[in-house]
Amino acid sequence: MDTAELKRIANEVRKNIVTSVHAAKSGHPGGSLSSADILTYLYYVEMRGLDPKDPKNPDRDRFVLSKGHAAPVLYGTLAEKGYFPKEDLVTLRHIGSHLQGHPDMNLTPGVDMSTGSLGQGISTAVGMALAGKMDGKDYRVYTLLGDGEIQEGQVWEACMFAGHRKLDNLVVIVDLNGLQIDGEIAKVCSPFPVDEKFMSFNFNVIHADAHDFDSLAKAFAEARETKGMPTAIIAKSVKGKGVSFMENNADWHGKAPNDEQFMTAMKDLEEIGKGL
């Protein structure tokens, strides 16, 4: 798939995010928009064995959204990919919807793990990768963490284990947008240097631009070739990417656009779409 097509899909995923969070009147647009290109690349290029008609295929690659509050980007990608109708997106966070505020593996087709409590998803991804090794299967496991999320101690328990067990079928991606609810991660409680931390836990570390598909392609290719250790991709991103007034603004971590803001946001994305 060429870069132009990936950009077009990612822009559709961003529209899905804005549409669903607006309809929900709550949710987390900032960290969803920042990771839209990463999920697009994973679901359209990188991950193997995916089939919307057979979402539980035991040999499929797996994805765990450890930063579960970015559910809108996962739903937006899965809907785009055909796991469920796009019309469902406006039911996000509504009573009776399969689209819960945080991902529920027992309700939404294509969700590989229920997540939401930060720091826990990565451990489950490690468990999946370990199961693959025990069973001699060649599926790979991907997990996306927020840069604020890596303040959770459990993340480093999981990394210690993954490094120790040399789980080279595991890729940990950090969506490094630099912002958490209370402000800049560097000011709230700095996790920097992030790369050296992963290195010291025996990870292969790759830096990437979270909004450049060539950069992502290079990073995931290197991860696939890396043997004997897990990979961490530190993906530098822009929180709120694609929506002018949300970009680099921590206020849009967990807030829905009102009707007027929704119109502006969709106009921004339409404009980006035209330019592609």
Partner 1 sequence: MAVKYDLSGEKKIATRESYGNALVELGQEHEDLVVLDADLAGATKTGTFKKAFPDRHIDCGIAEANMMGIAAGLATCGKVPFASSFAMFATGRAFEQVRNTIAHGELNVKVAASHAGISVGEDGATHQCCEDIALMRVIPNMVVINPCDDVEAQAAVKAAYEYVGPMYLRFGRLAVPVLNDPETYRFELGKGIVMRDGSDLTIIATGLEVYESLVAAEKLAAEGINAEVINIHTIKPIDKELIRSSAAKTGKVVTVEEHSVIGGLYSAVCETLAEKNPVRVLAIGVQDEFGHSGPAKDLLKEFGLDSEGIYKKIKEIL
Quick check: 102 and 46 in contact, CB under 8 A?
A: no
Total residues contacting partner 1 (rule CB under 8 A)?
A: 34
Please identify, among the stretches 23-31, 33-41, 130-138, 232-240, the one whose residues bind partner 1 according to the rule CB under 8 A. 130-138
Paired tokens of 215 = 């950069």
Q: Is 114 among the residues that bind partner 1 (CB under 8 A)?
A: yes
Out of 113, 144, 172, 210, the only residue in the binding site for partner 1 (CB under 8 A) is 113
Residue 242: CB minimum distance to partner 1, A: 31
Please identify, among the stretches 39-47, 129-137, 197-205, 218-226, the one whose residues bind partner 1 according to the rule CB under 8 A. 129-137
Q: Computed from CA positions of residues 149, 153, 158, 164, in that sequence, does the dihedral angle turn out positive or negative?
A: positive
Q: Which of residues 242-271 bind partner 1 (CB under 8 A)?
A: none
3-state SS of the chain: helix, strand, coil percent to 5? 50, 10, 40
Nearer to partner 1, 102 or 211 (CB): 102
Q: How far is CA 239 from CA 36, 46, 63, 231, in A?
A: 10, 23, 21, 23
What's at 3, amino acid-wise? T
Please identify, among the stretches 104-112, 196-204, 213-221, 244-252, the one whose residues bind partner 1 according to the rule CB under 8 A. 104-112
Q: Is 117 among the residues that bind partner 1 (CB under 8 A)?
A: yes
Please, what's the b/e burial string for 191-218 (b: 16 or more CB within 10 A of its CB; e: otherwise)?
Answer: beebbebbeebbbbbbebebbebebbbe
Q: Is 169 among the residues that bind partner 1 (CB under 8 A)?
A: no
Residue 134: CB minimum distance to partner 1, A: 7
Quick check: 104 and 117 in contact, CB under 8 A?
A: no
Out of 132, 163, 178, 191, the only residue in the binding site for partner 1 (CB under 8 A) is 132
Out of 45, 90, 130, 266, the only residue in the binding site for partner 1 (CB under 8 A) is 130
Out of 16, 35, 123, 215, the only residue in the binding site for partner 1 (CB under 8 A) is 123
Out of 3, 52, 58, 184, the only residue in the binding site for partner 1 (CB under 8 A) is 58
* Strand ranges in the chain using DSSP code E only, listed in sequence order: 62-65, 141-146, 170-176, 179-180, 183-184, 204-209, 231-236
Q: Is 176 among the residues that bind partner 1 (CB under 8 A)?
A: no
In angstroms, the CA 124 to CA 128 distance is: 6
Q: Which of residues 138-157 bind partner 1 (CB under 8 A)?
A: 153-154, 157
* Strand ranges in 28-182 using DSSP code E only, listed in sequence order: 62-65, 141-146, 170-176, 179-180
Q: Is 95 among the residues that bind partner 1 (CB under 8 A)?
A: no
Cα-to-chain-centroid distance, residue 175? 7
Binding site for partner 1 (CB under 8 A): 58, 64, 104-106, 112-117, 119-132, 134-135, 153-154, 157-158, 160-161, 164
